[in-house]
Amino acid sequence: MSESRVALITGSSSGIGAAIARDLAAQGIRVVVNSARSEEAGKALAAELPDAVYVRGDVAEPQDARRIVREAVDAHGRLDILVNNAGTTRFIPLDDLDTPDAAVWREILDVNVIGAWQITTAAVPHLRRSGAGAVVNISSVSATRALGSSVPYAVSKAALDHMTRLLASQLGPEIRVNAVAPGLIETPWYDEAGQVWESSREWITANTPLRRVGTPEDVAHAVRHLVDAAYTTGDVLTVDGGRHIV
């Protein structure tokens, strides 16, 4: 059995999650690809990466969350890194107070907050055994600023940031818990946003110090840093091209 580390990346069949899987695999880390629905894309990505496996499952479902972790450990014998990337949203203007009904709130919170909690708590015993476990949550700049794809989404990411800090305070020294908060990132999510995306893209490009929107690879590089940042825990690393300073 190889002693190389093992990383489980939830929601990793495309976009940011796939970029994280590729980046970690390039560092010699064995990855477990996961998605709730996109099985074909997930299997194709796993086939592309050395020693990778694919596990289908919905982190919002308690039994699935436990099974995903169990199958990851069964496949590789250990778990060292968990990246909570699985997420969902609805594109709803922030001033629309009618569309985000209770069902919308539950849908988003179930994946973005409860799902991250369920998969993390299932992974904790294995991460502890690693002796240098690392959890990285994928948050958003909308957690701390009055913006985002919808109010429920922004609130879910604010909750995820605080969960990051709470877990970091309790799981050390064996496990570090950090988060990455991306700004506007060019992913398949924005295909459904249409003109809203194009307007946001133009505005960010003109008003951000680095003069561009982000890419999934930008987020992946930040995740890799936190995976190996041995004296960093409870941190939320902003990846937004410097927009937060202007």
**Residues that are catalytic:** 153
Radius of gyration of the chain (CA): 17
Burial (CB count within 10 angstroms: exposed 0-12, middle 13-18, buried 19+), residue 165: middle
Question: For residue 175, what are the β-bridge partners?
Answer: 133
- Residue 169's Cα: distance from chain center in Å? 20
Burial (CB count within 10 angstroms: exposed 0-12, middle 13-18, buried 19+), residue 206: exposed
Tell me the C-alpha distance between 236 and 135, whole Å. Answer: 12
